[in-house]
C-alpha cells in the first residue's frame, strides 16, 4: 500500500513544502499554505484510454532541429457562436485546453451547455459534477436546444470513471463543469484542493494533447475575482477566458485573458435572454443610449477592444463638494488616470476642479483600458462643469498627455469607420494621426486637434 504523507501547498502558486511557512518563498504571499494529505503513487499515472492506472515510465524524447519538424496546420473547429470564435482566435483548436472562469450565476454553465448543444455534426460530452441529468435536461429545454442527438450528458466526479466514458463515447469535444468538483484516486485529498485541481487538470491536459480532443474546463473564482486553485492552473491550460458582467443586468462579456493560439485582448458580448445567451454582433448600438436631446456631461468615445472597434458612452458629473475633501469616483475607468486628467485640466488650463466632486461612468458596464478615450473623458468633465451639452453627432478619439497635448492613437482608420457607420457626423482626433491617412474615403467630418484648449474653443466657444 502506498505511503501517505502530509504536505503543505501554497494556494496562490502551488508551491509544495514539507512544513507550514508564513511566507511563500515562490510568490512571496503571506498565509497561503494549507495542509493536505497526499499519496505518493510512485511513477504510476492514470491512462485515459482505459481509465486504469499504468506505469508512468516512457521512452524519453530526443531533441530535433526545428526545420526538420513536420508541421501540418489543423483546421480549427468553427462553432455557431461567432463571439466565441472571435475570442478564441478563429475557432477551437484541436487538442487545446480552455479554462473559463466567472462569478456564480453569471452564465458559465449556460454558455458551455449552449455550445455543446449547437455545434452541428460534432459529438460532445458534457460532464457535470454539480447538477443531475434531469436538471441539465431542464436547462437544455429552456435553451430550446434539447433535440441534438450527439450530445452526451455525464454526471460524474471521478476522473477515472470520466475517462472510461470518454473511451466508450469517443467524443470530439469534452466540457467539464467544474474542475473544482473532480477528484483523482491518485491524490488523497478533498475535491477542490490545490493538489486535486492540479492533478485533475494534468490528467485532462494529457488526454487533450494525446487525443487531439479540445477540452473546456469551467472554473470557480475567489472573492478577489481570480480563478480558484493554484496559479499554476492558468499556466497549464492553453486559453483562459473570463466571463464577466453584472448578473442583475442583461449583458455579459467574454474576455480572453490568455490565448496561445490568438490574441489575448479579444472580447465577445452576449445578452442574457429567457432562452439563454444571445450574441451581440454590434456592441456599439447597445453601449450608446438613445437620447432625444443632448445632455451635459455625456460624450462618445471611439475605442478598440483587441482588434474590435466600439463606440462607448462616457458620462461625467461635476458638482460642488459638500464636504471638506472632494470625492473622486469612477466606474469602468482607472481612477488614477482620471485624477491625472483632472490635474492636467487644473494646472495647464486653469479649470478649478480641486474643490469639486467628480464622478465618471462608462455606460454598459464595460471596463476600459484604451488610452484613446482620454479626450472623451476630458470633454465630458468640462461639459458637466460648464453645464453645456455636447452635440450627439460628435465622437472623440485621442490620448491626452501631461502637457495637455492630444497624442495620436493606433488604428485610427477603424475608429473613424465605426463612427461613420453608426451615423456620426464629426470626429475629433489628434492632428498627429494625419500621416498617411486618406480622408477622401470618409464622409464623416474629421477635425484635427493638437491641444485641449482647441477642443474647448471648438465645442464650447
Domain ranges of the chain: 1-43, 45-51+76-279, 286-460
Q: Is 102 annotated as a binding residue?
A: yes
What's the grid cell of residue 161?
470513471
Beta-carbon count within 10 A of 196 CB: 25
pLDDT class of 1 with cuts at 50, 70, 90? very low
With cell 492613437, the residue in question is 409
Question: pLDDT above 70 covers what percent of the chain?
Answer: 90
Q: Same CATH topology for 45-51+76-279 and 286-460? A: no
Residue 330 among known ligand-binding residues = no
Fold (CATH) for 286-460: Ribosomal Protein S5; domain 2 (3.30.230)
Task: Give 215 or 257, the one with higher predicted confidence.
Answer: 215
Cα(81)–Cα(278) distance, integer angstroms: 9
109 belongs to an annotated ligand binding site? yes
pLDDT the model gives residue 449: 93
Q: Confidence class of residue 205 from pLDDT cuts 50, 70 and 90? A: very high
Q: Tell me: is residue 104 an annotated ligand-binding position.
A: yes
The verdict on whether residue 324 carries a ligand-binding annotation is: no
Please determine, for residue 247, whether its predicted confidence score (pLDDT) is greater than 70.
no
Quote the CA–CA distance of 435 and 425 in Å, as a whole number.
Answer: 22
What confidence tier does 2 reach under pLDDT thresholds 50, 70, 90? Answer: low
User: Is residue 296 a known part of a binding site?
Assistant: no
**Tens-place pLDDT, residues 356-380:** 999 999 987 778 889 999 999 999 9
Contacts of 123 (CB under 8 A, 6+ apart): 150, 151, 152, 169, 170, 171, 172, 173
> CA-to-CA distance for 326 and 84, rounded, in angstroms?
43
- For residue 346, what are the contacts with CB-CB under 8 A and spacing of at least 6? 352, 353, 354
The three three-digit cell numbers of residue 379, written as one number: 470633454
106 assigned ligand-binding residue: yes
Q: pLDDT tens across 120-160, in order? A: 888 999 999 989 999 999 888 888 765 667 899 999 999 99
Structure confidence at residue 194 as a pLDDT band (50, 70, 90): confident
What is the C-alpha separation between 303 and 72, in angstroms, rounded? 37
319 marked ligand binding residue: no
Q: How far apart are CA 419 and CA 285, in angstroms?
A: 11
pLDDT digits (tens, 9 = 90+) for 379-396: 999 999 999 999 989 999
C-alpha dihedral, 252 to 253 to 254 to 258, nearest 10°: -150
- Tell me: pLDDT of 350 over 60: yes
CA 193, CA 182: separation in Å to the nearest integer? 10
What is the rounded average pLDDT of the residues 167-173? 93
Classify the C-alpha dihedral 170-194-246-362 as positive or negative: negative
Geometric angle at alpha carbon 213, from 209 and 219, rounded to 5°: 85
CATH class of residue range 45-51+76-279 = alpha beta
Highest average pLDDT, of 74-88, 290-304, 394-408, comes from 394-408
More confident site: 40 or 382: 382
Nearest to 27 by CA among 51, 47, 9, 6: 9
Amino acid at each position: 500500500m502506498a505511503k501517505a504523507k502530509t504536505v503543505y501547498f501554497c494556494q496562490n502558486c502551488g508551491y509544495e513544502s514539507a512544513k507550514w511557512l508564513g511566507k511563500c518563498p515562490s510568490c512571496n504571499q503571506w498565509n497561503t499554505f494549507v495542509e493536505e494529505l497526499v499519496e505518493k503513487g510512485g511513477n504510476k499515472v492514470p491512462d485515459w484510454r482505459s481509465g486504469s492506472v499504468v506505469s508512468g515510465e516512457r521512452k524519453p524524447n530526443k531533441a530535433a532541429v526545428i526545420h526538420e519538424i513536420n508541421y501540418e496546420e489543423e483546421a480549427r473547429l468553427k462553432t455557431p457562436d461567432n463571439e466565441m470564435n472571435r475570442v478564441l482566435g478563429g475557432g477551437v483548436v484541436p487538442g487545446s485546453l480552455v479554462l473559463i472562469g466567472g462569478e456564480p450565476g453569471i452564465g458559465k454553465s449556460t454558455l458551455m451547455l449552449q455550445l455543446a448543444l449547437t455545434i452541428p455534426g460534432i459529438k460532445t460530452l458534457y460532464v457535470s459534477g454539480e447538477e443531475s441529468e434531469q436538471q441539465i435536461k431542464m436547462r437544455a429545454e429552456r435553451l430550446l436546444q434539447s433535440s441534438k442527438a450527439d450530445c452526451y450528458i455525464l454526471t460524474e466526479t471521478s476522473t477515472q470513471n470520466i475517462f472510461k466514458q470518454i473511451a466508450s463515447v469517443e467524443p470530439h469535444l469534452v466540457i467539464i463543469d467544474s474542475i473544482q468538483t473532480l477528484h483523482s484516486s491518485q491524490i488523497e485529498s478533498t475535491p477542490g484542493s490545490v493538489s486535486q485541481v492540479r492533478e485533475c487538470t494534468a490528467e485532462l491536459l494529457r488526454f487533450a494533447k494525446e487525443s487531439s480532443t479540445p477540452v473546456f474546463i469551467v472554473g470557480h473564482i475567489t472573492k478577489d475575482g481570480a480563478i480558484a486553485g493554484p496559479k499554476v492552473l492558468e499556466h497549464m491550460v492553453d486559453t483562459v477566458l473570463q466571463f464577466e458582467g453584472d448578473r442583475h443586468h442583461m449583458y455579459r462579456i467574454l474576455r480572453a485573458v490568455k490565448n496561445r493560439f490568438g490574441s489575448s485582448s479579444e472580447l465577445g458580448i452576449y445578452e442574457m435572454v429567457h432562452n439563454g445567451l444571445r450574441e451581440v454582433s454590434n456592441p456599439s448600438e447597445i453601449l450608446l443610449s438613445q437620447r432625444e436631446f443632448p445632455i451635459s456631461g455625456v460624450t462618445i468615445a471611439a475605442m478598440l477592444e483587441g482588434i474590435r472597434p466600439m463606440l462607448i458612452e462616457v458620462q461625467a458629473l461635476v458638482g460642488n463638494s459638500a464636504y471638506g475633501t472632494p470625492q473622486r469616483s469612477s466606474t469602468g475607468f482607472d481612477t488614477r488616470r482620471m485624477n491625472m486628467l483632472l490635474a492636467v485640466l487644473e494646472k495647464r488650463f486653469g479649470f478649478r476642479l480641486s474643490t469639486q466632486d467628480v464622478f465618471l461612468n462608462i455606460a454598459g458596464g464595460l471596463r476600459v483600458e484604451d488610452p484613446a478615450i482620454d479626450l472623451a473623458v476630458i470633454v465630458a468633465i468640462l461639459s458637466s462643469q460648464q453645464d453645456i451639452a455636447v452635440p450627439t453627432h460628435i465622437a472623440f478619439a485621442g490620448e491626452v498627455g501631461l502637457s495637455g497635448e492630444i497624442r495620436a492613437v493606433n488604428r485610427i482608420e477603424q475608429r473613424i469607420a465605426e463612427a461613420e457607420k453608426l451615423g456620426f457626423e464629426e470626429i475629433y482626433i489628434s492632428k498627429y494621426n494625419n500621416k498617411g491617412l486618406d480622408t477622401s474615403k470618409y464622409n464623416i467630418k474629421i477635425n484635427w486637434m493638437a491641444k485641449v484648449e482647441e477642443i474647448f474653443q471648438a465645442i464650447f466657444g
